[in-house]
Structure 1
Amino acid sequence: MKIVITGGGGFLGQRLARALLARDVPTEPAMDEIATSLVLFDRDFPEVPVDPRISVVRGSVTDAGALEALVDGADVVFHLAAVVSGQAEADFDLGMEVNVQGSQTLLEACRKSGNSPRVVFTSSVAVFGPVSEDAPLSVAPRSSYGAEKAIAELLLAEYTRRGFVDGVVLRLPTISVRPGLPNQAASSFASGIVREPLCGKDTVCPVAPDLPLWLLSPRHAIANLVHAGDLPAAMLGANPIVDLPGLSVTVAQMVEALEAVAGSEPLEHIAWCLDPAVERIVASWPARWDDSRARALGFTSDSSFDQTIRDFLEEMNAGPSAPLAAAC
């Protein structure tokens, strides 16, 4: 079996690779072949899992030739490569090039391969606009990133309808707590207000404490990606788009959970300074959605944000080879 991960050098890509390599599926002999070809594709690789079963390909999702070679013979493609929300808002051309054109280029490569591979695409809570009585929860993004993800969803649904690929769209809640350094995502603070204080570092929260967020931990995000790679197409029916389960918590409740788990000292490292541009983007995202279909399909979420923080600490302190060893 050949599995491809675009964005394989990133946070989720690296974790997904480890999860796939660590799988023990004795009841599914075909999955034993997963080790024969796990291909990570990205522009840069800060770290690559040391494993003879992995091959690394450097390139851009806008390079049609590179993608055609990449997906040739692929059984499963996890499409994680993307320009994040804040960067897409700041650089419209780059966001459209990578998030829209890159996604279509990948789908075209899959179509030309003739394999009809399973393509798992990571979409986002950002595809939704504000909820109101006049406009119930629907795709109405209020950011370039959200619009780009929504366009890519439609492309994947159409390529799936035509039988060119076997697609699954996973709409991810905001992922928290992410390890490592802050990135250019508008939601970067959702990890920073936990990660940095736990590491004894100062951080700034750019949104109001009462702002609600729809969250999912890295642990469950990866488990859901792996599950999507296996999910029978018949279970999805005609709708390949899945709104993943999550937790609805306010920023204040996140800080309360931090105090409950780690005491009051980390809270001294949190400053509050409203950034209207960040709050405008993040406040347009829903604080919850109906995840009953996703749960019926076997997708999962966290039991509480307290537990999410405990999981983060457990992995962060698990030793130099742990996925979160560089969390700080």
Structure 2
Amino acid sequence: MNIVVTGGAGFLGSRVIRLLLERKDQGTPPIAFDRIVSFDLVESPVDDPHVTSVVGDIADPALIASVITPDTVAVYHLAAVLSGGSEDDFDLAMRVNVDGTRALLEAARTTGTRPRFLFTSSLAVFGGPMPARVPENLATQPESTYGAFKAIGELLVNEYSRKGFVDGRVLRLPTISVRPGRPNSAASSFASGILREPLNGVASSCPVPQDTRMWLSSPDTAVRNLVHALEVDGAELGQWRTLNLPGISVTVGQMLDSLERVGGTEARALVTDEPDQRVMDIVCSWPGDFDVERPLALGFARDESFDEVVAQYRDEFVPAH
């Protein structure tokens, strides 16, 4: 029995794999499995005898069919062209984010075993006029290519679940902050950069107004929620399998206040305001607060405070702080 993780070599994917292995070692796996298959453009950084890497194109149906088999009990679909990259290359985003998702679902359907299928979506599916706090049943109205293609993926997963082809779970992730490493092509990459770089003594710029409200989750909490989603009984989710995962609602100004409290005035002074209309057009269309009563009742977690989120990054990644 295996679990397939697309994007398994990435930041979230590798952490999901590590937590799945940790839970298995503890005798509390969210679902019984013997092996994890990381499916990505490069090999997984997780060195473990229970992990196999398959390197290839997510939109290659023949390769996907060799990866997702009747032995596959679950699929984590994390791979995607991110928001900024999707806006820049419509055709690539269509091939990966739409065609790739459908090919994975078709391969899962072909097994005939109804594997659990976990699709990571985004708050980018929302746009247009929105209430201050988004209810669970608000219709999607994306204002970006990334958001539109994620919304298509959500409908596909729900339809394949309704038909009984897969046991789907659509998980709308908050923006993840603070991510270590280099900036990526996400329009929201600054939500990590304005914290990560200053904590490491490097200047950073903020491309959106400081009153922009963000819906954020620490990496650790996001990964715990992704693994928890695997063990939630599909019957508890009902027919509509889409969940807005818990986050913290803070303005960019409040994020910078947390940076100053955790990293000091010197770190805060390294952040300057440099408006970027391209980033604002995408990020400022996203909601900044959600009603998450149902996911919390289902056992999903949220961070306690954004100060703790910033401190989590500092303690793990900043030397000699």
Give 1:29 shift. Answer: 8.0
Match of 1:322 in 2: none
Alignment of 1:302-317 (within 5 A): 302-316=303-317
Q: Which runs of 4+ in 1 moved over 6 A?
A: none
The answer on whether the counterparts of 2:30 and 2:230 sit within 8 Å (CA) in structure 1 is no
Q: Which segment drifts farther, 47-56 or 285-294?
A: 47-56
SS at match of 1:184: coil
For residue 197 of structure 1, what is the aligned residue in structure 2? Answer: 198
Distance 2:101 2:124 in 1: 17
Alpha-carbon distance in 2 for matches of 1:195, 1:138: 34
Mapped to 2, the partners of 1:183 and 1:13 lie a distance apart of: 15
Deviation at 1:313, TM superposition (A): 1.6
Name the TM-score, length of structure 1 as normaliser. 0.92
Which secondary structure state, in structure 1, belongs to the residue aligned with residue 159 of structure 2? helix
> What's 2:240 paired with?
239
Q: Which residue of 1 aligns with 2:121?
A: 123
Give the fraction of aligned pairs with identical amino acids, expressed as a percent: 50
Q: Which runs of 5+ in 1 are unaligned?
A: 320-328
Deviation at 1:187, TM superposition (A): 0.1
Alignment partner of 2:289: what SS? coil
Residue number in structure 2 paired with 1:325: none
- Deviation at residue 280 of structure 1 after TM alignment: 1.0
Q: Secondary structure at the match of 1:242?
A: strand
Bigger shift: 160-169 or 20-29? 20-29
Counterpart residue type for residue 17 of structure 2: A
Q: Deviations over 1:43-90 (max 9, x none)?
A: 123x51111111100011100011111110200110000000000001
2:61 is aligned with what amino acid?
Answer: A
The answer on whether the counterparts of 2:208 and 2:280 sit within 8 Å (CA) in structure 1 is: yes
Q: Give the C-alpha shift of residue 26 in structure 1.
A: 5.9
How big is the shift at 1:17?
0.8
- Is the contact made by 2:20 and 2:29 (CA closer than 8 Å) also made in structure 1? no
Q: What is residue 62 of structure 1 aligned with on the other side? A: 59
Give, in whole Å, the separation in 2 of the partners of 1:318 and 1:205: 24
Give secondary structure in 1 for the equivalent of 2:295: helix
Q: Is this contact kept in 1: 2:117–2:166, CA < 8 A?
A: yes
Post-superposition offset of 1:234: 1.1
Amino acid at match of 1:301: R
Aligned AA for 1:109? A
Distance 1:132 1:6, change over 3 A: closer
Q: Determine if contact 1:177/1:309 at 8 Å carries over to the other structure.
A: yes
Asked if the contact 1:128–1:284 (Cα under 8 Å) also holds between the matched residues in 2, the reply is yes
Q: What amino acid is aligned across from residue 68 of structure 1 in structure 2? A: A
- SS of the residue aligned with 2:96? helix
The aligned runs of 1:257-268 (5 Å cut-off) are 257-268=258-269
CA distance in 1, matches of 2:45, 2:53: 8
The letter for the 1-side match of 2:278 is A
Instruction: Say how many residue pairs are matched.
Output: 315
Question: d(CA) in 1 for partners of 2:128 and 2:257?
Answer: 26
Cα distance in 2 for partners of 1:42, 1:223 equals 21
1:91 aligns with: 89
Counterpart AA for 1:273: E
- Kept after mapping to 2: 8 A contact 1:5/1:13: yes
Change (3 A) 1:29 1:95: closer
Which residue number in structure 1 is paired with residue 189 of structure 2? 188
SS at match of 1:16: helix
- Residue 317 of structure 1: how far off its partner (Å): 5.1
TM-score normalized with structure 2 length: 0.94
1:104 maps to what in 2?
102
3-state secondary structure, aligned to 1:238: coil
